[in-house]
Amino acid sequence: MIHPDTYREMGLNDLEYQRIEGILGREPNLTEVGMFAVMWSEHCGYKYSRPVLALFKTYREAQETGALENAGIIPLDDKLGIVFKVESHNHPSAVEPFQGAATGVGGILRDIFTMGARPIANLNSLRFGPIEGVSRDATRNRYLFEHVVEGIAHYGNCVGVPTVGGEVVFNRCYNGNPLVNAMAVGVVELGKVATASAEGVGNPVLYVGSSTGKDGIHGATFASVELGPDSESKRPNVQMGDPFLEKLLIEATLEALATGEIVGIQDMGAAGLTCATSETATKGGSGIEIDIQKVPRREEKMSAYEIMLSESQERMLAIVRKGSDEKVGAIFRKWGLNAVVIGRVTNDGLVRIMNGSEMEAEIPARALTEECPTYHLDAAEPEYIARIQAFDPLSLHEPMSDEARAAAGQGEGFNLTYTECLAALLACPTIASKRWVTEQYDSMVQTQTLVGPLEGDAAVLRIRGSMKGIALKTDGNSRYCALDPFVGGQIAVAEAARNVACVGGRPAAVTDGLNFANPEKPTCFWQFKRCVEGIASATEAFGTPVVSGNVSFYNETPDCAIFPTPVIGMLGILEDANKRCGSAFREEGDVLMLLRADSDPTGGMGGSEYLATIHKVEAGPPPRIDLAGEHALHLCVVEAVSAGLLVSAHDCSDGGLSVCLAESCIPQGVGAVLMLRYSDFDDLPPSAILFGEAQSRVVVSMRTERQMKRLEEMAARHGVRAQWIGTVGGDNLRISLEGQNLVNVPVEQLANAHQNAIGRIMESHGS
């Protein structure tokens, strides 16, 4: 008899428990309840998000045809395909940042090579609370930041997959609830994609990889509740990773798959053996019987419950052609890994767990995977939305020019200059250079990285065996989503696509990491739904289907809930890997142009980093976005890069035009002279021109005026505005607006603010 407290503790409600009894026609035992609880958690079963995710066309179609694989595949050419997926590891990282982040990388890599794809790149998207200052929160945030980065570095570096890109954003809403989203990318021969299907009655079921321990039990359930004061006690729920074993597992798995003797294969991630057995059986329309006595274990005394729910890392389940288990097993053993036949495929549709001759559990596979209850939750617009959007972002006082301040002297009115605002923005941790982070990642191993971290708006990789290249980027502005989740969702996709276009990649497909608070609260569910609607509309407008993704709910503590935080992982295709573009200005005399398809009455000041950093305000309507214009801009930029017209391309995002220009000046230490006109910016105030985050804008530099003419023609053809704005050169960044000097500052000074800000914070305080 299972006590209600027991199943409730595992995350099941009374109705769900009754449903289990109904399915089995009897009372479940403890092992069975545990198996249902993990498979029916939001993390595995998507019981709340599934109805909303159906808004993604590809997801809906895949669901309908039963082709929902571990990760989506995008053809690169007629031989090779690209596989990629993002996954969250937020809760584990909140309590055990190093292992939480490390195993996040390990888990997503397994999703990739389980498909027969060789992992070629890692990216990530990280969110933390503010790291400046001596408060307890700041100290904790630095600790989390430092160890998450170290965990990612530890795992990715050792496993030999380069970490080529990512983003780190700091905001109060992530106090106590950091977000760690890891994305992995692989390349696979089309036609040799492995499936996670248990087919062929009598085929042996091979357990490979690491032994099973007591770590990570109920990890998936832990991911499906809010964090609270007792979260520390969940530390044992966090898995321990071993990138060395993962490296062996990658090589052994790819070698074993190449034999053609593996019928189906799946990694043991969330919900471990339970998930791997039930999902492969469901997919194969079969059943599976295993004997837990044969499962390699780290500890002598482990119950069936513990073995079935363990989330020990670096393990896989392979279904092998009858008679080939020795041949396949030998490959894994050559790499020093366990490879043990623990069961066989049956035809009764049941997952049967034996302990020698004793039966520990018997559940219809489909009950675990397909009959997870789906909830249509209530959505209600939070009352704060209308209030916060009503704020006029142009109503705040204007900074002053250097001249005005010199004239005014000390203590007169608002005393920050435009130059000081720019320096402050460049040094704010969200905008500051992430060199402190990216240097800890091996970004070059595998020698395919053509544009690495900080070198361009997105990473570019060549692909061995193809002329083509790929561009990769993760992006997502959660402040915009807090102000308007629909627009914020659209902008997340737009920015990621724009970044990929800037390096020369045609935006091709999306993976999304959807991080939200408690969906059982109608206001949070509304944010989720609106955000997904925004993402769906933008991906359809750009022709970039969502091919994989992950949902992480319950990202909240008793003190605060996170902003709705969609993370978009964008894949772009370069027709010729040699036709690519970085973001740095190069040579004196190069021409600067602004390509734009924006139309924003506030210049994108609402929700801007300028408002947040300088005025401590997070309000206003987010920047406006016109998806058709944005799409035209992408096409135009990609064509310009492919035609070899551009020396640099960099999009205007956080911090607006001035930050964009500074970021292009800093890498080579070269200045620029900008001459702007009010009429080109709807007569907005200078602060909005410099710092507004109006969307759909890219600053490009070119060698000659002849190339400028060609770009103008190209832009006109695409319906994109192209404006001459200045010239590269000198030691200073100088921005003037109709004769008024707004900014005039040595690039070296900007570089110091931008390059060393995070290192200074981390090293001055320690953690």
Closest distance to another protein from the beta carbon of 460 (Å)? 10
Q: Cβ distance 268 to 275 under 8 Å? A: yes
Phi-psi domain of 437 (left: phi exceeds 0; alpha: psi -120 through 50; beta: other): alpha
Candidate residues 127, 140, 142, 247; the one interacting with another protein per rule CB under 8 A: 247
Count of CB atoms within 10 A of residue 396's CB? 17
Q: Which stretch binds another protein (CB under 8 A): 164-172, 195-203, 301-309, 432-440?
A: 432-440
Helix (H) or strand (E) holding 123: strand 118-128
Candidate residues 96, 314, 442, 693; the one interacting with another protein per rule CB under 8 A: 442
Structure token digits, residue 97: 């940042």
Where would I find the H helices in 643-728?
Answer: 656-665, 686-691, 705-718
Does the footprint of another protein cover residue 303 (CB under 8 A)? no
Does the footprint of another protein cover residue 158 (CB under 8 A)? yes
Q: Which stretch binds another protein (CB under 8 A): 346-354, 439-447, 709-717, 732-740?
A: 439-447
Exposure letters 551-566 (e unless 16+ CB within 10 A, then b): bbbbbbbeebbbbbbb
Closest distance to another protein from the beta carbon of 191 (Å)? 23
620: helix, coil or strand?
coil
Closest distance to another protein from the beta carbon of 158 (Å)? 5
Closest CA to 437 of 180, 665, 88: 180
Does the footprint of another protein cover residue 449 (CB under 8 A)? yes
Task: Considering the complex, state which of residue 174 and residue 335 has its C-beta at the smaller distance from another protein.
Answer: 335
Does the footprint of another protein cover residue 60 (CB under 8 A)? no
Is 376 an annotated catalytic residue? no
Closest distance to another protein from the beta carbon of 251 (Å)? 8
Does the footprint of another protein cover residue 444 (CB under 8 A)? yes
Candidate residues 8, 63, 160, 746; the one interacting with another protein per rule CB under 8 A: 160
Does the footprint of another protein cover residue 466 (CB under 8 A)? no
Does the footprint of another protein cover residue 578 (CB under 8 A)? yes
Count of CB atoms within 10 A of residue 523's CB? 18
Candidate residues 89, 110, 315, 462; the one interacting with another protein per rule CB under 8 A: 462
Task: Considering the complex, state which of residue 80 and residue 158 has its C-beta at the smaller distance from another protein.
Answer: 158
Considering only residues 318 through 337, tell me which ones interact with another protein, judged by CB under 8 A.
Answer: 335-336
Considering only residues 196 through 225, tell me which ones interact with another protein, judged by CB under 8 A.
Answer: none
Q: CA 349 to CA 113: how far, in whole Å?
A: 27
Helix (H) or strand (E) holding 266: strand 262-267
Does the footprint of another protein cover residue 157 (CB under 8 A)? yes
Report in angstroms the alpha-carbon separations of 300 from 307, 700, 726.
11, 63, 72
Does the footprint of another protein cover residue 397 (CB under 8 A)? no
Is 91 an annotated catalytic residue? no
Does the footprint of another protein cover residue 103 (CB under 8 A)? no
Q: Cβ distance 378 to 321 under 8 Å? A: no
Report in angstroms the alpha-carbon separations of 572 from 82, 460, 498, 577.
10, 9, 10, 11
Q: Cβ distance 7 to 282 under 8 Å? A: no
Q: Residue 121 pairs with which residues in a beta bridge?
A: 185
Q: Which stretch binds another protein (CB under 8 A): 158-166, 170-178, 190-198, 363-371?
A: 158-166
Q: Which residue in this structure is represented by tokens 């066309």? A: 57
Does the footprint of another protein cover residue 258 (CB under 8 A)? no
Q: Which stretch binds another protein (CB under 8 A): 8-16, 20-28, 236-244, 655-663?
A: 236-244
Burial zone of 68 (CB within 10 Å; 0-12 exposed, 13-18 middle, 19+ buried): middle
Active-site residue, from 89, 154, 631, 634: 89
Does the footprint of another protein cover residue 441 (CB under 8 A)? yes
Does the footprint of another protein cover residue 467 (CB under 8 A)? no
Does the footprint of another protein cover residue 186 (CB under 8 A)? no
Q: CA 423 to CA 702: how far, in whole Å?
A: 26
Q: Cβ distance 154 to 148 under 8 Å? A: no
Q: Cβ distance 429 to 131 under 8 Å? A: yes
Residues in binding contact with another protein, number by CB under 8 A:
31
Does the footprint of another protein cover residue 243 (CB under 8 A)? yes
| Residues classed as catalytic | 43, 89
Which residue ranges make up the site for another protein (CB under 8 A)?
A: 150, 153-154, 157-160, 242-245, 247-248, 335-336, 438-447, 449-450, 462, 464, 577-578
